[in-house]
Structure 1
Amino acid sequence: MGTTTPAGTAAATARLERWQRFRANRDKALATRHGWLTITSFQWLEDSPAAVDLAPGLWSTDGTTAVLTAVPSDGLTLVETGEAVDGTITAVLADEESLMWVQFGGPSGDRTVVELAMRSGRYAARTRDAESPVFTEFDGVPTYPYNPDWEVTGRFEPYAEPVDVPISTANPLVDGIHRTVGEVVFRLPGSPHEFRLQAEEEKLGALTVTFHDETNGAAPPGQTAEWRKVSTPRPRPNPDGTFTVVLDFNRAINYPSAFTPYGTCPMPVRNNSLDVRVEAGEKQPYAP
């Protein structure tokens, strides 16, 4: 029977501590004021001025510009400057852009922020309420216990050029694009075969893999959301021209749409499904 050396024990402890720091930072980032846990509505803007859910003022769009008309009694101020909105203001966004535009409510007038968003060529208003129970009662995302077996080494096979793959999103009225830069190839505990998943490139050459697995939506309650993602460090080049990549599924996280029904998060591409139970990373958060 093998024994663990002091050096091995120290290395294992260090890996666990790094994961614990990762979890603490992740929960802290989620629990920011007016972050993802505070979203309380999502509504498309119409071509005629009209009220929107949970926010004052009259909102509309001509297709290229968003328009908001308000009076002082609406209590709306610009998020950027704090200036009161009295009359009509406009904003223009590119597709997939968002703007924390106006705010209102509460003792300081900033309890709720209204985010203007452009999705699939359409403008939408999304409210972010700092007193939403999902936010005020948040006590961290439930996770599986740390297990070093779910940190695996594989290879990255880059494409000659990125390929744009149409995908669905958490909102059935919003289409998305997955810019695939290559495929991550690896094995997982409990599976006899290799997996090959498409990856997107992030900052500084890191990769993100969005995936389904057999724990998604599984019973009993407390398993995982409908899909998750895991990020990898920048692939490491080898002398033979191949690239090594490390996937730590202990760091698999939920998209914002797992916390709110008002997200427009990208779903995995068709082939990014794992036929095993990835019992690592974040579980389904408590129901909003």
Structure 2
Amino acid sequence: MSRTLQQWQAARRAELASPDSWLGLVGLFWLEPGSNRVGRGEDCAVRLPSGPDGLGELDWQADRVLWRPVGGEARELATDRASSPTAVDHENLSFFIVDREGRLAVRLRDRDWMSSRPFAGLEYYPEAPVWQVEADWVEVDPPIRMEVPTVSGELKTVEVGRKAVFEREGQRVELLPMSVGEREVFFVFRDRTSGRETYGAGRFLKAKPAVDGRIRLDFNRAFNPPCAFTPFATCPLPPPENWLPFPVPAGELKYRSAEH
């Protein structure tokens, strides 16, 4: 295995074994405009598994969310839309606000999750240089606007102005990106291993920005989305255009928890 791929896999393992892992999520609570109580009490919109019946309230007004803790000062919380979200900590619990196309939700994390649910580790296909693909980075004119569904049933609007085009097994393949940034291009895809050796809803793939009309897709770094590890994620699903008609035996395999 190449050193850089080994380092990438080690970083993936470290991320998923950390206190802030996706495996530590224990709740996702959609908010309503106005006041939303937080605590262990039955009348709370955000139900905590431990702690006081009333820890405080989240006040959602227009595009602002204020956290009003019991006996403390109110403060505004940033969502994950444009920056790192503001976390609110209570003992081993931590929560923050996620913005999904204008709908807000609280994502709740148990940072002591490994004490009751050990991390099972990750498995990969052997490294396969044949799945390091040099694709053409082709302009889509006019750009396409797609309504991409998520595992939580929401629709995410994506505008596609470029696509990665390559040939495999005598077939022309076109992959549409979910996002294109200055540092990376993000894809979601399915293939004939999905639901068998790999996660059924598909996998994620990130690539460096294109250079001189070419983009490098290293499927050895295809990885499971957050929803492979928790039911409290809101992952985008691959559009039909990104359903590959052949297996891609490269990258991360289906996660098998330590409980199975």
How far did residue 271 of structure 1 move? 0.9
Count of aligned positions: 244
Which protein has the larger Cα radius of gyration, Structure 1 or Structure 2? 1
Q: Which of the numbers 185, 193, 199 marks the counterpart of 1:224?
A: 199
Matched, 1:212 2:184: no
Matched letter for residue 183 of structure 1: K
What is aligned with 1:146?
127
Does the residue aligned with 1:187 lie in a helix, a strand or coil?
strand
Contact 1:97–1:117 at 8 Å: present in 2 too?
Answer: no
Q: Flag the 1:233–1:90 CA change in 2: closer, same or farther, 3 A.
A: closer
Matched, 1:201 2:173: no
Normalising by the residue count of structure 1, what TM-score does the alignment of the two structures yield? 0.74
Cα RMSD, aligned residues only: 2.7
Q: Give runs of aligned pairs for residues 74-223 of structure 1, distance below 5 A.
A: 86=72, 88-91=74-77, 93=79, 95=81, 99-105=85-91, 111-133=92-114, 137-159=118-140, 163-172=144-153, 174-188=154-168, 191-199=169-177, 200-204=179-183, 206-218=184-196, 222-223=197-198
Matched letter for residue 138 of structure 1: F
Contact 2:19–2:113 at 8 Å: present in 1 too?
Answer: no
Any unmatched runs of 5+ in structure 1? 1-14, 73-85, 106-110, 238-242
Q: Which of the numbers 28, 31, 40 marks the counterpart of 2:17?
A: 31
Q: Flag the 1:257–1:157 CA change in 2: closer, same or farther, 3 A.
A: same
Contact 1:95–1:121 at 8 Å: present in 2 too?
Answer: no
Q: Which of the numbers 40, 48, 53 marks the counterpart of 2:47?
A: 53
What is aligned with 2:234?
264
Normalising by the residue count of structure 2, what TM-score does the alignment of the two structures yield? 0.81
Matched, 1:65 2:59: no
How far did residue 121 of structure 1 move? 1.5
* Mapped partners of 1:90, 1:98: distance in 2: 13
What is aligned with 2:52?
none
Give % identity.
Answer: 26
What is aligned with 1:250?
220
Contact 1:93–1:118 at 8 Å: present in 2 too?
Answer: yes
